Amino acid sequence: MRLRSLLLVCTVLLALSACGDKAAPVAFNNTDVTGLAYGKDFSLHDHNGKLRTLADFKGKAVVVFFGFTQCPDVCPTTMLEMANVMKALGPDADKVQVLFITVDPERDTATLLSQYVPAFDPRFLGLRGDLAETEKTAKEFKVFYQKVPGKTPGSYTVDHTAGSYVFDPQGRIRLFIRHGQGVEPIVHDLKILLAQPA
């Protein structure tokens, strides 16, 4: 009987020690969307004319934001926020790629994107497709966008999803960044992703 009790105690202790070895869940500031069934890839031209897919950026954390160059508020503040994130990351910024996908390909030409996007940080890339490619990519990422008529046909604006998606260096979708939260929460989460083993 004593031997049986001793074995039971040993078994419980082993089980408890095994539980203690498990890594604590990662505490992201932003929404953890690991394993999301959508947002798998895109195939769009960058502002230099090169066809890009997610695989081109393997080894880097990738931040994907949908917007348009004539956006009066959300887009420039998001891009400025990401530029400040890059500054705060220091040398780790070279392991991050920010992509701006236009939801207004009719006005956002490659030339315009090449002036607008790198103005925030020269490492940032603008991506565009034709109307069908833009719609397909937005649908893949479940991003909402809709034209809002202006006073003239060319003065319309575009309502669109304001957050950003983040992929880890292995190309897996991991986070959804809420708009306007500031630099530190994003830096915190990117550092976690960059530190994780492949």
CA 63/CA 181 separation, integer angstroms: 15
CA 170/CA 153 separation, integer angstroms: 43
Tokens 């994907």 sit at which residue? Answer: 64
CA 143/CA 135 separation, integer angstroms: 9
Read off the tokens for 2.
Answer: 């004593």
Tokens 């319309």 sit at which residue? Answer: 156
CB 70 within 8 A of CB 148: no
Amino acid at 20: G
Q: Does residue 160 have a known ligand-binding role?
A: yes
Q: Binding-site residues for Cu cation, please? A: 71, 75, 160
